[in-house]
Amino acid sequence: MKYIKKFETLQLQDTPTVGGKNSSLGQMIADLSSQGVQVPTGFAVTAQAYWYYINHNNLLDDMKKIMSELKDYKQAALLSSVGKKIRALIVQGDMPDDLVEEIKKAYDQLCKHYDQEECDVAVRSSATAEDLPTASFAGQQETYLNIRGYESLIESCKKAMASLFTDRAIAYRIEQGFDHFKVALSVGVQKMIRSDLATAGVAFSLDTESGFKDVIVIDSSFGLGESIVKGEVIPDEFVVHKPTLKKGFASIVKRSLGKKDRKIVYSDNKKEPTKTIPVSDEQRCQFSLTDSEVLELSRLIVIIEDHYSQLKGSWSPMDIEWAKDGQDGKLYILQARPETVHSSKKENGFLTHYKLKEKAPQAFLSGQSIGQKIASGTARIIESADNIDQVQEGDILVTDMTDPDWVPAMKKAAGIVTNRGGRTCHAAIVSREMNLPAIVGAQGATEVIKQGQKITIDCSQGKVGFVYDGEFSFEKKELDIKNISTNIVKPDVMVNIADPDAAFVVAALPQDGVGLARLEFIINNSIEIHPLALVHPEKIQDEKTKKRIEDITCAYDDKKKFFVDTLACGVGTLAAAFWPKPVIVRLSDFKTNEYRNLIGGSYFEAEEENPMLGFRGASRYYSEQYKDAFALECAALKKVREVMGFENVKIMVPFVRTIKEAQQVLEVMKEFGLERGKDKLEIVMMCEIPSNVILIDEFSKLFDGFSIGSNDLTQLTLGVDRDSGQLAHLFDERDPAVKKMLAMAVEGALASKKYIGICGQAPSDLPEIAQFLIEHGISSISLNADSIVPFLKRYKK
């Protein structure tokens, strides 16, 4: 056939003829089918067919004449008018008879291949300049789903050709320097996968926000994948660590249950071949993929990334659309194209960080953070594309969801907030390309935010973005890390971290691993529930608390498994970010008042006069009162090491008062599957009580090393309550008694040939304490993330 190419005959070098999408599909079918990558087949209507159609209908002169009206593409109304006229011109043309016959013949062969009469196909555009390394055309052209029969197929092919002139495609070509009339469009016709009966989504072979290379991010929702791309749902999100996955481990380091209240499915109406229906309450509380499916899909993504990287000769992160067929239960790859935002960035030796200059009030709205920046301005609420001209330079665009027609307005905006969508929806993808901060999935944004309100959007704090009332000043810091290495000082320079969402960014700093990973943040923010409330739900009496627990844990029948999985994912993310460097995870060290603040906590915690010196740290772990909860913590850490494969995780026991207590804790940990020395497990102890220093020789026989907690050691050496404002002037790590304790701890550990570091606040705040410890031969210094570069610069010659 002259104008038709079957997918299985295509390779990447055919891009000028069939466009990026189609050539990529052919390459995968040819090269990766034998490795288990299943791609539904189909055919391409070539770029030559596009020109044949245009010339057959004598459209080119009229198209150029209409395009000449576009004097300023930033005028949204004019751009929209020009695009609409050209699209209408193309769609109204007649398909040449011989081209019609070729399309029919190829469709018949496809139907025969799948043993179906009028099989269901997706009709997609595939621009010949699309998916090139420097140009992403995401969402610029249309896709037509569940197309059946000759008439619908021919009409959809014409519409796909016309979509070369959507508003965004026109604007993008102008910006990128592409000639409108030298870029052609091929049409891909691909057998559909019945994900309307199952699930579908988008995946990236890197972290879309930080560019971190070692993970796969999968977004998933019920029904056809268009609901994710169009931002109609907040999808489930899964993150998988590639290096440990390749070693055979089940390294899912994040499972986030989305808000999947609707799905797109097939309809019986040929004019409207798909429809949106509500998702059942039962399905809303279910993950849309099982763990085994997440891992299987991740392995496919690794195969695809490795293959394209080999073809390119360098790392090629991928943007992939996938679907699960509800009839055969199998996973299919629908599209794969190079990711263009992070892969095109060049390393310049700078890390950019945004930070509010002043303490903002409590956020009144939050959603998923895109862009790691801060912006402030006037909120401009726009309900439809007809009103995008209202957006002024520097406004914060607030809307339900964007689509390609909104791009001119997005270019004027300082930031974007949407009601719906996830990290792979149109608003998120385009915001990244435009280097704009955005908060997507901020439910109720268009109702809560008022027209003309001054607001600040903060995307600098991790995966959650916050909206504040008012305009707040912020600073942009560029950290110069060129030629900065931790080798310039003798001890290892490690980092203190609590928030898994910040891990991929912090890991880019010069560091030798994590000296303190705090579990409290994960328990407080991701779990929220007192562990004993999940072990003994029968003790919770009030209905309000019961409902809160059920709402948070609804995806789990086994509520204890919710705690274990969530904690394991948080720790796993930290371990993945710094892999294979050591990550020292401190067992939970909440005080009683902090445990009481967890949901259901008041049923299990007493009110203590001085929680700092109360039922905390090691004393909890072996007590009959708390032991069942500690078992969940141990199960999570065991999962991180043995199931996820993160052998770089070491465990640290806090607030060990006596030798006997140390022995009791180690015995309980062994009972729960965490045995020192087994599977290379190292257990270290916080050295933060004077008894730890005095008896460091004895403690050295029980542990693999120590980490000084300077906050508690100062408190207990000087007898100063560190929470007391009245005594704040007495709390000083530079006091001679505290320095003597620090020196004794370091010297004692080294004499016993044990590792000893420090993870307290002192070296971050007090350079002289850091220098004092270095002179005494400390093994490592663990600093807060914002202190690492200034610390290293002090020692750089």
What pLDDT shows up at residue 135?
Answer: 46
Quote the pLDDT of residue 176.
Answer: 81
Closest CA to 687 of 749, 776, 764, 734: 749
How much of the chain exceeds pLDDT 90, in percent?
79
Confidence of residue 560 (pLDDT cuts 50, 70, 90): very high
Q: What is the pLDDT of residues 589-602, one digit of tens each?
A: 999 999 999 999 99
| Cα distance between residue 197 and residue 200, in whole Å | 10
What pLDDT, on the 0 to 100 scale, is given for residue 133? 44
CB-CB contact of 236 with 257 (8 Å)? yes
Contact residues for 454 (Cβ-Cβ < 8 A; gap 6+):
376, 377, 378, 379, 469, 470, 471
Residue with tokens 């032991």: 627
DSSP reduced 3-state for 657 = coil
CA distance 323 to 335: 10
pLDDT score recorded for residue 136: 46
| Contacting residues for 412 by C-beta, under 8 A, at least 6 apart | 74, 391, 392, 393, 394, 395
Residue with tokens 């002169």: 61
CA–CA separation, 501 and 429 (whole Å)? 19
The mean of the pLDDT values for the chain is 93
In this prediction, residue 294 has a pLDDT band, given cuts at 50, 70 and 90, of very high
* Contact criterion met (CB below 8 Å) for 157 and 187: yes
Collapsing DSSP states into helix, strand and coil, what is residue 716?
helix
Report pLDDT digits (tens) over 677-712: 999 999 999 999 999 999 999 999 999 999 999 999
The dihedral built from the CA positions of residue 527, 532, 538 and 542, taken in this order, carries a sign that is negative
Q: How confident is the model at residue 201 (pLDDT cuts 50, 70, 90)?
A: very high
Model confidence at 349, pLDDT cuts 50, 70, 90, reads low
Residue 356 has pLDDT above 70, yes or no: yes
User: What kind and span of H or E run contains 362?
Assistant: none
Res. 340 pLDDT band, cuts 50 70 90: confident
* Catalytic residue, candidates 241, 307, 426, 530: 426
Q: Judging by DSSP bridges, how do beta strands 236-241 and 331-338 pair with one another?
A: unpaired
Give the pLDDT of residue 134.
46
Average pLDDT on 8-24 reads 93
pLDDT at 347 over 90: no
Q: What are phi and psi of 382, to 5 degrees?
A: -120, 125
Query: What pLDDT is attached to residue 76?
Result: 81
pLDDT at 551 over 80: yes
Tokens 């993929």 belong to residue = 289
- Residues facing 784 on adjacent strands: 496
Gap between the Cα atoms of 504 and 574, Å rounded: 8
Reported confidence tier of residue 580, pLDDT bands at 50, 70, 90: very high
Let me know: does 247 contact 580? Beta carbons within 8 Å. Answer: no
pLDDT of 401 strictly over 70:
yes
Cβ–Cβ < 8 Å for 56, 94: yes
**Residue 6: exposure state from Cβ atoms within 10 A (0-12, 13-18, ≥19):** middle
In which residue are the tokens 């104008």 written?
A: 3
Token pair for 640: 């991180």
Is 795 or 456 the better-scoring residue by pLDDT?
456
Residues 6+ apart with CB under 8 A from 296: 331
**Amino acid 214: pLDDT:** 98
Reference 256, options 420, 416, 425, 422; nearest CA is 422
459 a catalytic residue: no
Average pLDDT over residues 408-418: 91
Residue 425 in this model has a pLDDT that exceeds 80? yes
Looking at this protein, which amino acid is placed at residue 405? D
For residue 596, the tally of other CB atoms under 10 A from its CB is: 19
Compute the distance between CA of residue 237 and CA of residue 219 in angstroms, rounded to an integer: 5
Across the range 719-733, mean pLDDT stands at 85
CB neighbour list of residue 204: distance below 8 Å, 6 or more residues apart = 216, 217, 317, 318, 319, 320, 339, 424
Q: Is the pLDDT of residue 483 over 90?
A: no
Convert 383-422 to b/e letters by CB count within 10 Å (16 or more is b).
eebeebbebeeebbbbbbbbbbbbbbbbbbbbbbbbbbbb
What is the three-class DSSP state of 224?
A: coil
Using DSSP's 3-state secondary structure scheme, residue 46 falls into coil
Inform me whether the pLDDT recorded for 361 exceeds 90: no
Confidence of residue 724 (pLDDT cuts 50, 70, 90): confident
pLDDT at 777 over 80: yes
pLDDT average, residue stretch 521-542: 96
Name every residue whose Cβ is closer than 8 Å to that of residue 528 and which is 6 or more positions away in sequence. Answer: 552, 598, 599
β-pairing, 121-127 with 143-147?
Answer: antiparallel
Nearest-angstrom CA–CA distance, 384 and 406: 9
Q: Answer yes or no: are the C-beta atoms of 287 and 255 closer than 8 Å.
A: yes
Q: What is the pTM of this model?
A: 0.92
Residue 312 in tokens: 């390119």
Six-digit token string for 319? 């943007």
Concerning whether 157 is annotated as a catalytic residue, the answer is no
For 276-294, the DSSP string reads EEEPPHHHHTS-SS-HHHH
In terms of Cβ atoms closer than 10 Å to its own Cβ (0-12, 13-18, 19+), residue 766 is middle
3-state SS, residue 329: coil
**Span 122-179, pLDDT tens digits:** 999 987 764 444 444 444 557 899 999 999 999 999 999 999 998 888 888 888 888 9
Strands 199-204 vs 262-266: parallel, antiparallel or unpaired: unpaired
What mean pLDDT do residues 46-68 have?
Answer: 96
d(CA 180, CA 513): 51
pLDDT per position as a tens digit, 749-758? 999 999 999 9
Q: How many residues does the chain have?
A: 797
**Annotated catalytic residue: which of 425, 569, 687, 759?**
759
Residues 6+ apart with CB under 8 A from 84: none
pLDDT at 400 over 90: yes
Average pLDDT rounded to a whole number, residues 311-338: 95
Amino acid present at 785: A
Q: Is pLDDT at 366 greater than 50 in this prediction?
A: yes
What is the arrangement of strands in the sheet containing 318-324, beginning at the earlier edge strand? 252-256, 236-241, 215-222, 199-204, 318-324, 331-338
